[in-house]
Chains A and B, each alone.
Chain A
Amino acid sequence: MPTSALPTQTLLDAHIEGRLAFAISEVARQAPDRLAIIAQAGSDSRRTIDYRTLAVAIAALEAELDATRPVGIVARASRVESLVVIAAACGRQHVHVALLPYDSRDLVGEHNDWLEVDDSLSLPAAPTGGRMRLEFETVPPEVTVATSGTSGPPKLVDHSWDSLLAAARLAEHWHGLGWLLVYDATRWAGMQVWIQAMLTGGRLVVPASREPDTVARALADEAVAILPATPTLLRRLLTSGDAAVLEKASGSLERITLGGEGADAGLLERAHTVFPKAKITQVYATTELGEVYRVADGRPGFPSNWLGKALPGGARLSLRSDGELLVRLSRDTAEVATGDLVERRGDRYEFTGRRSDVIVVGGAKVYPKRVEEVIRGVPGVVDVRIYGLPSGITGELVAGEIVLAEPLADGATPESIRAAVLAICRESLEPHSVPRILDIVSQIAMTAAGKTPRRAR
Chain B
Amino acid sequence: MYQFDYHRPTSLDEAAQILSQDDEASLLAGGQTLLPTMKQRLAAPSQLVDLSGIAELKGVREDSGQIIVGAMTPHDTVANDKTVQAKIPGLAHLAGEIGDPQVRNRGTIGGSLANNDPASDYPGAVLGLGATVRTNKREIPADDFFLGLFETALDEGELIKEVAFPVPKKSAYAKFHNPASRYAIVGAFVASTEQGVRVAITGAGPCVFRVPEMEQALNSNWSADAIKDIKVAADDFNTDLHASADYRAHLVTVMAKRAVQAAG
- The answer to whether A binds B is no
